[in-house]
Amino acid sequence: MTLSLFLACAWLVLANVLGMLPSRDNHWTRAYVLIALGLPLLGWVFWQNGPWVALLVVLAGASVLRWPLLYLWRWLRAQVS
């Protein structure tokens, strides 16, 4: 396992632990931090392991950050129509 995949797995564990802790702002601050850490990590995974592994990491990250993605999708739909 490459270092980038190890860190991606650690990111997923961290995201799940942070999701279990109580939050006053519905976890949005933590989601922004996870996104800021996850995007460069995703690029590194893509560079070291290729697009298919990076796609699996994207799907795993999307399952953790599903609400920010849902709100992004709604915002994009409102901008188009």
Distance CA(71)–CA(16), nearest Å, equals 20
| Whole-structure pTM value | 0.88
The per-residue pLDDT for 50 is 97
Distance CA(40)–CA(27), nearest Å, equals 21
Q: Is the dihedral of CA 57, 61, 62, 68 positive or negative?
A: negative
The per-residue pLDDT for 26 is 87
The per-residue pLDDT for 81 is 87
Residue 42 corresponds to which tokens in the numbers above?
A: 């995703």
The per-residue pLDDT for 30 is 94
Q: Break the chain down into helix, strand, coil percent, rounded to 5.
A: 85, 0, 15
Residues lower than pLDDT 50 in the chain = none
